[in-house]
Chains A and B, each alone.
Chain A
Amino acid sequence: MSGTHASSRVSHPPASDFNSGLRASVPVMIAVFPFSILYGALAAQNGLSVVDATLMSALIFGGASQMVGIDLFGHKIAPWLIVLSIFAVNFRHVLYSATFGRRIRHWSGPRKALGFFFLTDVHFAESERRAQSGKQVGFAWYFGLSLGIYVPWVVASGAGAFFSSLLGNTHELGLDFLLPIYFLGLVMEFHKRPLFLPVVAVSAAASVLALWTVGSPWHVSIGALAGILLAAAIPPKKHGLESPVGGDVP
């Protein structure tokens, strides 16, 4: 995801760090904004109230998993399976968390606990970029970045749900296939990772087969597991993995 190259030098007063974090959030927010509206609109189409949709954004704060969640809400699937799917989509954060934890060793306990709540792909990427450029990942900077993304995300989710519920089902024709396109975009974000093609091919085939034989929603778990097992089974050859985290988890 593109971002500003923060023009600030190594500045330490919290207020200016906060502002520089806020500035870093602007391009992210512009890119994410349409998706928060879309999320809210689709949430309402799938039967969530404006309050539900907003609450989900405020508490989960993870776009892809929220889209998956509302997609499954629409299919009347067992609640624990929806929760499991949200967990599966967000599982990648485990890797970010391990690396990010080392960047914020100097934070106090409660600040760490709060910091991890906001740890999305974007937060991880921006923090790594800042650390890489020799600056400290301070709480004020991180909090500015987080607030700049969190507040618009939650508000726009509610707005999307609100306007969609006013419109009713009229534009369902256009909206119904936007989710698969969105999910494809998320898949493609990982296309530079090692084993991308084999994992995607195997997961795709396994999920379709599972859908035809076992049925929904098991195709999600079965398809994902097939791709993950394949990745584990292929002998690791490269030591320098290309993913941002893969390489430097000690």
Chain B
Amino acid sequence: MSTTWWIILAGAVVTYLTRIGGHLVLSRFERVHPRVEAALDAVPAAVLTTLVAPAAVSAEPAELGALVVAGLVALRFDMLPMFLAGAAALGLLRWVGL
């Protein structure tokens, strides 16, 4: 099996563990400590931010503009309108030569 397949397989196993693990582990505790809960609550935004911030820092003007537009749209709308707005802004800004 290729490395890619091993990565996919291992990724599938760890993903399944996150999906069944909360039930198997967290549900045994009567109460989750508020600090642990706050930390767990912060996980998705914290991880995903690290994928955006470096790209934003090294972005060209058009890309930065697209991120700003997408971020603003996201305050009011769902994922799909936000994404389309960002992609449209990116295309437009690149087209005008930013």
Contacts and interface: CB of A to CB of B under 8 A. Distances in A.
A31 interface: yes
B10 A83 contact: yes
Given A116-B20, A191-B74, A243-B41, A90 B51 contact: no
Contacts of A224: 43, 46-47, 49-50
Given A203-B49, A249-B37, A250-B31, A92 B43 contact: yes
A207 B50 contact: yes
A219 B80 CA distance: 28
Interface in A49-105: 52, 55-56, 59-62, 64-65, 68-69, 71, 73, 79, 82-83, 85-102
Given A59-B9, A79-B3, A186 B19 contact: no
Interface string B35-68: 1111111111111111111111101000100110
Interface residues of B, number: 68
A9 to B, nearest CB: 28
Interface in A198-215: 199-200, 203-208, 211
B45 A91 contact: no
A125 interface: no
A38 to B, nearest CB: 9
Q: Is the interface of A mostly helix, strand, loop or mixed?
A: helix
A208 B57 contact: yes
B74 A211 contact: no
A101 B23 contact: yes
B41 A193 contact: yes
Interface in A223-250: 223-234, 236, 241, 243, 246, 249-250
Given A91-B18, A91-B43, A117-B19, 4 more contacts: A95-B22, A173-B94, A183-B52, A204-B53
27 contacts: A1-B78, A34-B83, A60-B11, A69-B8, A79-B10, A86-B14, A91-B47, A92-B40, A94-B18, A94-B21, A94-B22, A94-B25, A94-B26, A96-B22, A97-B18, A99-B22, A101-B23, A117-B16, A181-B86, A183-B55, A184-B74, A188-B75, A204-B50, A204-B56, A207-B50, A224-B43, A236-B35
Interface of B: 3-12, 14-23, 25-27, 30-32, 34-57, 59, 63, 66-67, 70-71, 74-75, 78-80, 82-83, 86-87, 90-91, 94
- Ranked 10 nearest A-B pairs via Cβ: A97-B22, A227-B46, A101-B23, A231-B42, A188-B74, A223-B50, A59-B12, A204-B53, A207-B50, A98-B22
